Structure 1
Amino acid sequence: MGTRAIHIEVIESMDSSSFLNALRRFFSIGGPVKQIRSDCGTNFIGACRELKMEAVQSNKEVQEYLNHKGCTWVFNPPHSSHMGGSWERMIGITRCILDSMMLKVGSSKLTHEVLTTFMAEVSAFVNARPLVPVSTDPDSPFILMPATLLTQKVAVVLPPQGEFDDKDLFKRQWRQVQSLANTFWHRWRTEYLPTLQSRRKWQTEKPNLKEGDIVTLKDSQLKRNDWPMGIIMKTFPGRDGKVRKVDVKTAREASCNIFLCPVSETVLLLLSPETDK
């Protein structure tokens, strides 16, 4: 939860025993944890019963047991997957891609070794996503990723040399993994990463700016409380008839200047008198 990283474990079944083994593997690799958060899945509830926790729905009983180990287990209310937040989001996207891939490939064609290695590759992809926008500061060129926080390393694991396609699904196991990893990476890059940067566009028709309209200019270098206003002297419509740049005449310090600016840097204040008529 602190690093927004994910860890995927392959288990043989959805029973409590398999979950406890996966939990032990996670503890053995990552060390003790301070808090576990989960939904009310039957395998999680069964695991609590295996650990002699009778009142599963009561967080107090779970916490009293785990407090001896310095760990707490917090359950979300039933039928409230939206309370999962970040982990439901990441696992949900990963699961959607994997489900569509498995329908095409068929899980019966994958051995346990191939599936385990493939899940490790998938975890590496998800944990290499950027957490913050890319900085334009030359003194800070690195991109903060969950993997960076986990490993304290900025380098990522590069794929093996060679080309891997769908034909490799029927070859050696290590080539099967790389073929599946390439497919997942393509889907992850084209379906998820674009959602990190929203692209807006006009959904409704708006009138063009016209000569004589009064506008104010947007300028990030202006001082506080400085609002430069001007009048549009000329418009430059494109082939589609949309005005995307204009000449604006401004008066500042007893001098007049004309600037060519895009319409995105102007804010309409008053329509021209001819338009009002």
Structure 2
Amino acid sequence: MADLPKDRLCSDPPFTYVGLDVFGPWLVTARKTRGGQAEAKRWAVIFACMSIRAIHIEVIESMDTSSFINALRRFFAIRGAVKLLRSDCGTNFVSACKELQIDKKGCHNRNIDTYLQDNGCQWQFNPPHASHMAGSWERMIGVARRILDAMLLQHWHAKLTHEVLITFMAEVTAIVNAWPLTTVSTDPEHPVILTPATLLTQKYGMPPVPPGKV
């Protein structure tokens, strides 16, 4: 087995080195019409931290440049500056690559390049046919899909809307980020479990909302 990339073992703050991919789509109810309900497609952009294995998901309305840049802006605003974005041009990213003007040699979209340069961020692409190099975030996509499928199956009778999909994605993010990073101790004197959410929020567990009014 080859050595891990340096950004997998860095001591920088979370989401400094990020793996990026796009998955979906899902059909959501966009608006009500006289003949029924109009549907539209939605996609999700997953950002996976290379060091602590935390994820961040943004829902986008289309695969065009403006939607993708807006997702990047929301991610940078919430998680802070990013030094390096990694992605591939695999099957999950093909349609997005065509719209965003990305090929095997990199991104040729001037708007995206300008935005990344202004934020001091680089976008590095894995070699073609090297899906194993994207295993760290492809694994997260598989886990997120299974959790989302379970949620949709539980609420199969309800119409999926854009707002509901965003809520589900936020809950999927919370569930994935609550997974333990190390072996869970059976010692009752050490009940604390180290998770990505712990490193991000400095909070342990999921305590209930305190009673009373704010």
Q: TM-score range by the shorter chain?
A: 0.5 to 0.7
Q: Does 1:150 align with 2:203?
A: no
Offset at 1:12? 1.1
Asked whether the equivalents of residues 61 and 67 of structure 2 are also in contact (C-alpha less than 8 Å), the reply is: yes
Asked whether the equivalents of residues 177 and 195 of structure 2 are also in contact (C-alpha less than 8 Å), the reply is: yes
Q: Residues 43 and 93 of structure 1: is their aligned pair in 2 closer, same or farther, counting only changes over 3 Å?
A: same
Q: Does 1:124 align with 2:174?
A: yes
Q: Does 1:86 align with 2:136?
A: yes
Q: Does 1:113 align with 2:113?
A: no
Offset at 1:71? 1.9
Q: Does 1:76 align with 2:126?
A: yes
2:85 to 36, 51, 74: 36
Hey, what's the Cα distance between the residues in 2 that align with 1:21 and 1:107? 32
Hey, what's the Cα distance between the residues in 2 that align with 1:78 and 1:23? 24
Q: Residues 113 and 154 of structure 1: is their aligned pair in 2 closer, same or farther, counting only changes over 3 Å?
A: same
Q: Does 1:58 align with 2:111?
A: no
Q: TM-score, structure 1 length as denominator?
A: 0.46
Asked whether the equivalents of residues 16 and 43 of structure 1 are also in contact (C-alpha less than 8 Å), the reply is: no
User: How many residues end up aligned between the 2 structures?
Assistant: 154
Deviation string, structure 1 residues 211-236 (Cα, Å, up to 9, x no partner): xxxxxxxxxxxxxxxxxxxxxxxxxx
Offset at 1:157? 5.3
Asked whether the equivalents of residues 19 and 43 of structure 1 are also in contact (C-alpha less than 8 Å), the reply is: no
Asked whether the equivalents of residues 19 and 44 of structure 1 are also in contact (C-alpha less than 8 Å), the reply is: no
2:63 to 14, 36, 56: 14
Deviation string, structure 1 residues 150-192 (Cα, Å, up to 9, x no partner): 11222325489xxxxxxxxxxxxxxxxxxxxxxxxxxxxxxxx
Q: Residues 124 and 20 of structure 1: is their aligned pair in 2 closer, same or farther, counting only changes over 3 Å?
A: same
Q: Which residue identity does 1:115 align to in structure 2?
A: L
**Higher percent of residues as helix:** 1
Which structure has more relative contact order (CA 8 Å, sep 6+)? It is 2
- Structure 1 stretches of at least 4 aligned residues deviating more than 6 Å after TM superposition: none
Hey, what's the Cα distance between the residues in 1 that align with 2:117 and 2:137? 23
**Alignment RMSD, CA only?**
3.4
